[in-house]
Structure 1
């Protein structure tokens, strides 16, 4: 510490007194007092040693004593880069370790991320190959197919640029967006190219076909692109943790659509004018002449003729078609209520864990004995190679009655059983454990915490007594459900404690203050911090406490003395603490908590493998209606809170997307009739998605709900192609029926091509396996199933609705004439 300075004529020297104590010997030599001129030092009456602040934490790796080290990722840091550098450092350090000592990686998030990215990249390659194959198959020429194919790399490179500009990273969400973009970015190019190619096949010169063919569909291309972007915006505006993740998804898809639209309207016509050629059967003279019917000449293919015949029958039987569509949609509504609901699908992340809770007041040694039982029962899984590492922590969270066992599973390529199957096989281990409460759990998707107890119900009220009674009844209700694992609440009066009652009058008579008694108790039993010291540049606390043998039970209090005033001699003598204090053993709650400023108790539980969070929340809400009085408030925390907010947020986003699409189309068509015809096909797509989820046994989660929102834009695209072209034909004087028939047949091939491209682009998601496959399967089946099941009905329902409703609005040329007049 500063102690002044010495100043001479030419120099000034600062004086600093080094009064710090830095070693145990320094503290041992502290003189407490002198007795008969003999100094009594701290080392004479106390054991002074360097140690750990809390020695109740026990760590083991594969049954061997270990020291745990966690590496926490900073915001915006790259998890895979951190893992790579840490593993490189481990390899360097291992060479210097003593014999018999090793470093084991108990858990590494980068393993799941790298495996998932690899699976997505494989799916992206397969998707790219399938989309190219279907384009070549429909166009019948690889040379011709180059026009839309070139859109894919241009759009993907542009998306990577957008990821960089927006400050995103290449992660699972952005890669998923790129994968889905493959099927979307070729749609506009297919529409432009197909129209140009059809006009050339009908005898129009190549350059004119490229120019006028593009102009003919430019409105449809812009309308479909704006519609798609309008559906991505609500996804990007989702709130909370889920919204932050999927905002990248929506923005990258929107960027892909913008880039592909620009390419389709600029690069594709130019390439088509250079690549496409007229049929050799056309004479040179005819090549120079324009065919006035080239833009509307109907194709003569088996598919077109068959569709024409069926469409005419459908238009003649509107009641039957509408009835089928209504029944199809209502079936989806009925099945929607039966779908299981959860926040995110349970992914195979290559890790499982067993949180364990011993009775309140248990020591670390007792909890460790229960952890060893679990480790012993897990040995068969290690021997057959299903588990690579078992990492145990006892005294987790500075609570000696808590334990945590982490099992790092073998790599996905090296095991046949999935994570879910292994978890089911491990559940009997925790059920046989009678000395502690435990359950096997898996990490939650989307990086959410609280995987061991996804169900968290918070009961709040005016006072703890009333809240305690209500929570106890709700807990008994939860215990009646076998699908809820280890239900419990954070208010349990089972924490053993010793209540001390102070005789203040006697303490006053002996001149002992309450502060002195409290200080003595804290010094002996509370590990009181009294000072600090510096070692190797870091500051550490100095803690005083009684030795372990002097603080084992309630009788230890009898060996505690304080200095009291002797009424006869006036001197201060040591008096047993029991003179002032009476001790009784009792039990109480470990903590009292508040939530939303109200006294509260949280009921939590794990979920069985086949029981979803949505079912658990609905079960507890049903019980709360009949159990909780009006003065008690029920709310949610943890994953349950995220689930409730995400569910309502996605539903709001779906409604918002539908409204935006309708308003955007109304502004583009300058009519409410045409947008209504287009939007009425959306329920068929949603119903198709629900049918596919039901058939495949997939839950309604964030991924599948995002896929349903995407279906709004995908299905609206088909309707736009038919309705916009029918409006053009009506403006030439054709009747509504003639216009919709001709438009539907002319747009059949591009509609089928774009839908099949989108379906094949998402097919690798449906066939996904390995790390994180469950989330990809969920969104994949929504898109594939929704488009497949709704395509057939849409090809007949949209023309039918247009035929019935288009007469309510005037054709575009009539509106233009009225405006001029």
Structure 2
């Protein structure tokens, strides 16, 4: 049986598309080597691209973010907000393209974050912000210089812990050497963790100050004036030019002790060593680390944008093998929290899944196609992928979870195109067409429907690029990757495959496969006796078929709407790192915090023994932080600090190597932990690395005053702790130390005191006065003049003496009125509005973010708003989800319109596209039932997979409708 349309497709009667089909396609089909040469080029192109592509867990995304850091030693969070944030905010809020301003006031410092619109010129934005801050003239005089910086994305590679029987200064020396070595090896970013800044303290007893009629400020000024390093000019003598410098910069305690403080009329001189104790120490109240060995210092190794995570980790491992003889044997060096291992494991998992899918595809191909034809169809899959990977490399894309996911989706799409052409060529050959004509005719005839199917698939995915914010940048790799793979597949399918089909069919014509296969006979029997009969029954009973299909569709919709199939916005794999953050009563000492960290280390080991029946092997490392917490969530906001807070982190073995899941370990760890007196809060949670930043649940409370917002936050937390599956509930407005407000009396004003002068002298009495700063080993060292520690511990604020402008000493209580107030250690603002965040993490095996937010909005929030007079808003990932799904809704409309236009062009009909597109919603029924039966949550990746499934459905429907129309045209 010959093909009736063969002679009708005359290139002279065609359009430009026909000329391409009958020109280029026929040329490559008939040419002996052109197809193979093109295939080799695609393989080489892809192989080169693979060597250039960076491997990482998640794709790089732009951070249109600038931060402003200001330190004001001794100031309360309220003072920082009132005097620094209020001064900066009006100047920067209305800079061009600023989208949002987030400010956080801490005790003694502030961090402001300026979020800009996408595609903003960040170099110009940085200049604008620096100029705006430099114009501010209302800052307090004794603040540190504001630091304005652009945030650069840095993904963690690993951490290194350094400990042993050494002093903290020695450990820091070793850590500095390692940092410099790693940077010299090519690692772009290595920074300290838990390394306190070095200071030199000059302790002057108050009796000596009164005897010499001096203040701490006076001594600080004399040290600064007598310890200088300034240029004094230059001397030119003939051809020789000499630089003159006055170098009296005292950098060591020994040099500082020789500074002259007082010169009496009798000629007697007093030096610093005569009236003060000078020694080296570390910054007070600065965070530090401990492990089972004692004090430790950490190094955080990060990769910059464009660097390869695995190569970076390999460099670290190479360095670790080289330093065994460089440092003392008693120095313990541990590499932990190796994020690059997660990259390697997850990429390997995706590769294995892709290989398994490819093997299944190959198995099906060899069942249904001629063996030689199936082989070339199978070879076309990696060839198309290599072509796409080469293009991805040219665009600067990375090999990560997102692009790998897209590659796995592409397997079905790519093989679908090649199967259509190969099967049609085989069918034409079986009907009697010459092998050479069959291969060429199949490629030419299938060009339009396959091209249309490919375009519809691309149309289904490309609108995803419309999704904005971090979510859009993360998932943008899916449509781009798939589009490149589809284009490469079209090239392979129509320019490479036809030549191979021609040769394969030629071999078949020579009798290599004349004996029918048993599977072919069985399949023909199944098709003719069962499938055709079933199709005939469904066709004859149209009403029942439609009703049954609609029932299945509505059941699937019910599964979604009822929550039986839950929606999880951005699913992340289980982490191997668990954090425990805790807070004591403000004012608690670091010794109490350190004791709690050690208790958490003990209880973590106890939990391991219980869960493993004493066998161990669950924990790999543990580290405690004193004076800081660990967000563990990739948040951009700086962690809270203070002596009364701390954290303990443990690393578990890889999730594939343990049966103990994180919720089980967290519960057991909590049960085994003894709560020390004064502990206010203990939160244990797992790291959430990857994906958009922020907590699963982030509820904002906005009100008129912080006290009412705090009470509302406490009530909301109590309610949320009763919601199943919600973990680590906390707010970000912690109570701080008791504030003492100073209000200048009229008597104080009469003595010549100012509020600023009083505040400075009070701060110097407790924190000391900074005499000078100098740089050593690329670090800033502060020289601080202060009272002895014994005096500051015993001294109350009422005991402080102030030096008046006329050089007399006056008690503080005679100058100011003292008022006590309970303050906060942290205050948050967004776009000028003070607010409190109540946050939590969701256990996806129990509930979802949407379920929790629905409970809050319907059952909890209305009562809290009414009781406390506040407003409850939903931010964080809920806001990201709403924006992303809103953008996807618009994208879906454009996608449907694009698919309709493509199909209408292909079939020259307004109604046929509607028939084809009507299949898509019903085809998704199976996917929803699959999620339900497997107890999986729908998420963003599921939506992307459903889009891919829609492309396959449309593809197959196009081929089916095209074939039906051809049969009708042939009179069948």
TM-score interval, smaller chain:
0.7 to 0.9
Q: Say if 1:454 and 1:604, in contact at 8 Å, map to a contact too.
A: yes
Q: Which moved more, 1:392-401 or 1:37-46?
A: 37-46
Instruction: Give yes or no for the alignment of 1:196 onto 2:417.
Output: no
Match of 2:289 among 54, 59, 62: 59
Instruction: Give yes or no for the alignment of 1:33 onto 2:252.
Output: no
Q: Say if 1:200 and 1:278, in contact at 8 Å, map to a contact too.
A: no
Equivalent residue for 1:395?
627
CA distance in 2 between counterparts of 1:714 and 1:476 reads 49
Match of 2:686 among 425, 439, 442: 442
Equivalent residue for 1:628?
865
Per-residue CA deviations over 1:394-440 (Å, capped at 9, x if unaligned) read: 21143223322222112345434344543454343469677242233
Equivalent residue for 2:731?
489
Q: Secondary structure at the match of 1:586?
A: strand
Equivalences, count: 708
Q: Which moved more, 1:307-316 or 1:500-509?
A: 500-509
Equivalent residue for 1:327?
551
Q: Secondary structure at the match of 2:955?
A: helix
Q: Secondary structure at the match of 1:592?
A: strand
Per-residue CA deviations over 1:370-396 (Å, capped at 9, x if unaligned) read: 222211111132761111101221211
Equivalent residue for 2:882?
644
Per-residue CA deviations over 1:342-394 (Å, capped at 9, x if unaligned) read: 23334133222222233333332222222222111111327611111012212
Equivalent residue for 2:327?
97
Equivalent residue for 1:525?
766
Q: Say if 2:769 and 2:786, in contact at 8 Å, map to a contact too.
A: yes
Equivalent residue for 1:456?
698
For the structure 1 residues 530 and 458, does the alpha-carbon distance in structure 2 shift closer, same or farther, using more than 3 Å as the test? farther
For the structure 1 residues 135 and 82, does the alpha-carbon distance in structure 2 shift closer, same or farther, using more than 3 Å as the test? same
After TM superposition, the structure 1 = structure 2 runs for residues 59-78 of structure 1, keeping only pairs within 5 Å, are: 59-62=289-292, 64-78=294-308
Equivalent residue for 1:699?
937
For the structure 1 residues 528 and 319, does the alpha-carbon distance in structure 2 shift closer, same or farther, using more than 3 Å as the test? farther
Q: Say if 2:622 and 2:649, in contact at 8 Å, map to a contact too.
A: yes
CA distance in 2 between counterparts of 1:590 and 1:663 reads 59
Following superposition, the deviation at residue 533 of structure 1 comes to: 1.7
Q: Say if 1:21 and 1:533, in contact at 8 Å, map to a contact too.
A: no
Following superposition, the deviation at residue 9 of structure 1 comes to: 4.8
Instruction: Give yes or no for the alignment of 1:562 onto 2:799.
Output: no
For the structure 1 residues 672 and 378, does the alpha-carbon distance in structure 2 shift closer, same or farther, using more than 3 Å as the test? same
Q: Say if 1:60 and 1:391, in contact at 8 Å, map to a contact too.
A: yes
Q: Secondary structure at the match of 1:422?
A: helix
CA distance in 2 between counterparts of 1:94 and 1:718 reads 62
Match of 2:274 among 35, 40, 44: 44
Q: Say if 1:348 and 1:420, in contact at 8 Å, map to a contact too.
A: no
Match of 1:347 among 573, 576, 579: 573
For the structure 1 residues 69 and 9, does the alpha-carbon distance in structure 2 shift closer, same or farther, using more than 3 Å as the test? closer
Per-residue CA deviations over 1:72-127 (Å, capped at 9, x if unaligned) read: 32222222222221232233334333242211123121111111122222223222
Q: Secondary structure at the match of 1:352?
A: strand
Q: Say if 2:439 and 2:501, in contact at 8 Å, map to a contact too.
A: yes
Per-residue CA deviations over 1:559-606 (Å, capped at 9, x if unaligned) read: 4322247xxxxx733333343245454312223322232221111223
For the structure 1 residues 490 and 353, does the alpha-carbon distance in structure 2 shift closer, same or farther, using more than 3 Å as the test? closer
Q: Secondary structure at the match of 1:70?
A: strand
Q: Say if 1:394 and 1:403, in contact at 8 Å, map to a contact too.
A: yes
For the structure 1 residues 551 and 480, does the alpha-carbon distance in structure 2 shift closer, same or farther, using more than 3 Å as the test? farther
CA distance in 1 between counterparts of 2:895 and 2:959 reads 20
CA distance in 1 between counterparts of 2:549 and 2:928 reads 15
Equivalent residue for 2:601?
375
Equivalent residue for 2:848?
612
For the structure 1 residues 348 and 480, does the alpha-carbon distance in structure 2 shift closer, same or farther, using more than 3 Å as the test? closer
Q: Say if 1:58 and 1:368, in contact at 8 Å, map to a contact too.
A: no
Per-residue CA deviations over 1:751-806 (Å, capped at 9, x if unaligned) read: xxxxxxxxxxxxxxxxxxxxxxxxxxxxxxxxxxxxxxxxxxxxxxxxxxxxxxxx
Following superposition, the deviation at residue 300 of structure 1 comes to: 5.9
CA distance in 1 between counterparts of 2:802 and 2:554 reads 81
Following superposition, the deviation at residue 537 of structure 1 comes to: 5.4
Following superposition, the deviation at residue 324 of structure 1 comes to: 0.9
Match of 2:650 among 399, 402, 407: 407
Q: Say if 1:6 and 1:13, in contact at 8 Å, map to a contact too.
A: yes
Instruction: Give yes or no for the alignment of 1:595 onto 2:830.
Output: yes
For the structure 1 residues 163 and 323, does the alpha-carbon distance in structure 2 shift closer, same or farther, using more than 3 Å as the test? same
Per-residue CA deviations over 1:527-552 (Å, capped at 9, x if unaligned) read: 54342123245443333333332333
For the structure 1 residues 353 and 487, does the alpha-carbon distance in structure 2 shift closer, same or farther, using more than 3 Å as the test? closer
Equivalent residue for 1:816?
none
CA distance in 1 between counterparts of 2:691 and 2:241 reads 60
How much is the aligned-residue C-alpha RMSD, in angstroms?
2.9
Give unmatched runs, 5+ long, in structure 1: 283-298, 566-570, 739-821
Q: Say if 1:112 and 1:350, in contact at 8 Å, map to a contact too.
A: no
Give unmatched runs, 5+ long, in structure 2: 1-229, 512-522, 610-614, 629-638
CA distance in 1 between counterparts of 2:901 and 2:391 reads 27
For the structure 1 residues 457 and 6, does the alpha-carbon distance in structure 2 shift closer, same or farther, using more than 3 Å as the test? same
After TM superposition, the structure 1 = structure 2 runs for residues 98-117 of structure 1, keeping only pairs within 5 Å, are: 98-117=328-347
Q: Say if 2:920 and 2:953, in contact at 8 Å, map to a contact too.
A: yes
CA distance in 1 between counterparts of 2:674 and 2:539 reads 63
Match of 1:265 among 494, 497, 500: 494
Match of 1:507 among 748, 755, 767: 748
CA distance in 2 between counterparts of 1:658 and 1:440 reads 46
Q: Which has the higher strand share?
A: 2
CA distance in 1 between counterparts of 2:672 and 2:944 reads 37
CA distance in 2 between counterparts of 1:262 and 1:513 reads 80
Per-residue CA deviations over 1:222-246 (Å, capped at 9, x if unaligned) read: 1111111112212344322222222
CA distance in 1 between counterparts of 2:875 and 2:310 reads 30
Following superposition, the deviation at residue 723 of structure 1 comes to: 1.4
CA distance in 1 between counterparts of 2:826 and 2:549 reads 58
Match of 2:534 among 305, 310, 333: 310
Equivalent residue for 1:178?
407
Instruction: Give yes or no for the alignment of 1:220 onto 2:449.
Output: yes
CA distance in 2 between counterparts of 1:499 and 1:241 reads 43
CA distance in 2 between counterparts of 1:460 and 1:184 reads 49
Following superposition, the deviation at residue 467 of structure 1 comes to: 4.5
**TM-score normalised according to structure 1 size:** 0.80
CA distance in 2 between counterparts of 1:213 and 1:502 reads 91
Match of 2:253 among 24, 31, 43: 24
Q: Say if 2:570 and 2:691, in contact at 8 Å, map to a contact too.
A: no
